[in-house]
């Protein structure tokens, strides 16, 4: 992020190092960076590496190297979720003290079937786990959200996001394998850092409802949201991490063409040919950044 007047805006890019950085991830990084740059704010990089079984050091290094090659740099220290366990445990203690937590024995197969049927990305407890004894060693920990109030926020691209406690009844906060769940970690991390604006892919748009509920349960502020279109394959599927991986060679002309292509996918003005470095392209793009160009778009197709 270039130096300038800080307006109080703090954004972030939070990739999970489970694969190489691909075009879809780069689009999310560029979009979040440009939104912060136009606001003369700060931009934080957070590595979401809680899942030790899937995250690898070489993928983390690839992310850091690739972002640097594309001029996506921050003066703020990189954060690593794996070093923030104490924060998550305190949040779990707060939720437990409120009497909202319960162990859930619903199986992955049962929950997956519901997610596929409802196409909602999440599934609440399917059985009577709230009211019966469930073995803590062989279950996930959930938070009962039914006693909370409805919450609505306006996404800057996709419109209304509503948390409805009778729909979003509960959410996993610690997985069956003991790993802190994404929803808890992300709301704790964003609140702890003071994130004002969450700019990320539209694949997380529906999941935001549960995060609104957790923010209320923990007494945390709700940031502004902007969900960017997800880059899809020609067949409509989300980009696989093993495909369309971005080369990290900083001297390759492909680097510049890839960055220009990402801006085109976001429907932004094309940088002039006189722009010869990623920094110059990003400076031009930040000055011209227009979220209205992709408003309402959930996805864009890769070339």
pLDDT tens profile 273-295: 999 899 999 999 999 999 999 99
Residue 72 lies in a domain: yes
Where is the domain boundary, 168, 192, 216? Answer: 192
pLDDT at residue 281 in the model: 96
Q: What percent of the chain has pLDDT over 90?
A: 78
pLDDT digits (tens, 9 = 90+) for 78-132: 999 999 999 999 999 999 999 999 999 998 888 887 765 555 568 899 989 999 8
Together in a domain, 108 and 157? yes
Question: Is the same domain home to 75 and 95?
Answer: no
Cβ-count burial of 95 within 10 angstroms (0-12 exposed, 13-18 middle, 19+ buried)? buried
Between these two residues, 263 and 121, which has the higher pLDDT value? Answer: 263
Residues 118, 72 within the same domain: no
Buried b (16+ CB within 10 A) or exposed e, 47-57: bbbbbeeebee
Question: Nearest to residue 208, comparing CAs of 183, 234, 240?
Answer: 183
Domain count, the chain: 2
The two tokens of residue 145 are 């959200």
Q: What are phi and psi for residue 180, nearest 5 degrees?
A: -60, 135
Cα separation, 144 vs 148, in Å, equals: 9
- Say yes or no: 159 and 172 in one domain: yes
10 Å CB burial of residue 165 (0-12, 13-18, 19+) is middle
Domain match, 266 and 252 both = yes
- Name which of 188, 207, 179, 138 is nearest 54 in CA terms: 179
Q: Indicate whether 176 and 242 sit together in one domain.
A: no
Residues with Cβ within 8 Å of 86's Cβ and at least 6 positions away in sequence, in order, are none
Q: pTM here?
A: 0.92
Domain assignment of residue 256, yes or no: yes
Same domain, 92 and 188: yes
| Domain limit, last residue, from 127, 162, 192 | 192
Same domain, 265 and 293: yes
DSSP letter, residue 291: G
Q: State the pLDDT confidence band at 239, using cuts at 50, 70 and 90.
A: low
- Whether residue 59 is found in the same domain as residue 104: no
Query: With the C-alpha atoms ordered 18, 21, 27, 31, is the resulting torsion angle positive or negative?
Result: positive
Residues 131 and 70 in one domain: no
Q: Which residues of 170-191 are buried (b: 16+ CB within 10 A; e: fewer)?
A: bbbbbbbeeebbbbbbbbbbbb
74 and 100 co-located in one domain: no
Residue 164 three-state SS: coil
Least confident of 222-236, 238-252, 269-283: 238-252
Q: Give the pLDDT of residue 276.
A: 87
C-beta separation of 138 from 176 below 8 A:
yes
Question: Which among 57, 296, 254, 291 is positioned nearest to 158, based on CA atoms?
Answer: 296
Query: For residue range 16-34, what is the model confidence (pLDDT) as tens digits?
Result: 999 988 888 999 999 999 9
Residue 3 in domain: no
- Structural contact between residues 228 and 157, judged by C-beta atoms closer than 8 angstroms: yes
By percentage, how much of the chain surpasses pLDDT 70? 90
Asked if the structure places residue 60 within a domain, the reply is: yes
The structure tokens listed for 81 are 């979720």
User: Does a structural domain hold residue 212?
Assistant: no
Over residues 162-178, mean pLDDT: 96
Residue 241 pLDDT greater than 80, yes or no: no
- Are 288 and 263 in contact, with CB atoms under 8 Å apart? no
8 A C-beta contact, residue 289 and residue 154: no
| CATH number of the domain encompassing residue 146 | 3.40.50.620
Owning domain of residue 109: 85-192
């Amino acid at each position: 992020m270039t130096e300038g007047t800080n307006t109080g805006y703090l954004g972030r890019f939070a990739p999970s190092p489970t694969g190489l950085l691909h075009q879809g991830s780069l689009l999310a990084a560029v979009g979040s960076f440009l939104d912060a740059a136009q606001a003369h704010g700060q931009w934080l990089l957070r590595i979401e590496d809680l899942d030790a079984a899937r995250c690898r050091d070489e993928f983390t290094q690839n992310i850091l190297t690739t972002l640097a090659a594309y001029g996506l740099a921050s003066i703020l220290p990189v954060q690593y979720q794996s070093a923030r366990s104490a924060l998550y445990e305190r949040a779990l203690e707060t939720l437990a003290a409120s009497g909202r937590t319960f162990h859930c024995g619903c199986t992955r197969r049962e929950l997956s079937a519901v997610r596929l049927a409802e196409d909602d990305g999440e599934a609440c407890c399917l059985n009577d786990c709230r009211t019966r004894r469930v073995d803590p060693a062989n279950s996930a920990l959930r938070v009962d959200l039914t006693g909370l109030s409805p919450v609505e926020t306006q996404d800057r691209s996709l419109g209304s996001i509503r948390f409805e406690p009778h729909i979003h009844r509960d959410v996993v906060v610690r997985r069956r394998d003991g790993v802190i769940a994404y929803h808890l970690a992300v709301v704790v991390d964003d609140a702890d850092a003071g994130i004002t604006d969450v700019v990320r892919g539209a694949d997380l748009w529906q999941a935001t409802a549960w995060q609104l509920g957790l923010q209320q349960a923990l007494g945390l502020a709700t940031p502004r949201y902007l969900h960017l279109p997800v880059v899809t394959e020609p067949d409509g599927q989300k980009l696989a991490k093993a495909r369309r991986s971005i080369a990290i060679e900083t001297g390759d002309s492909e680097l510049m063409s890839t960055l220009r292509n990402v801006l085109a996918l976001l429907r932004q003005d094309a940088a002039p040919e006189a722009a010869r470095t990623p920094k110059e392209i990003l400076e031009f793009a930040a000055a011209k950044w227009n979220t209205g160009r992709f408003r309402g778009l959930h996805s864009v197709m890769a070339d």
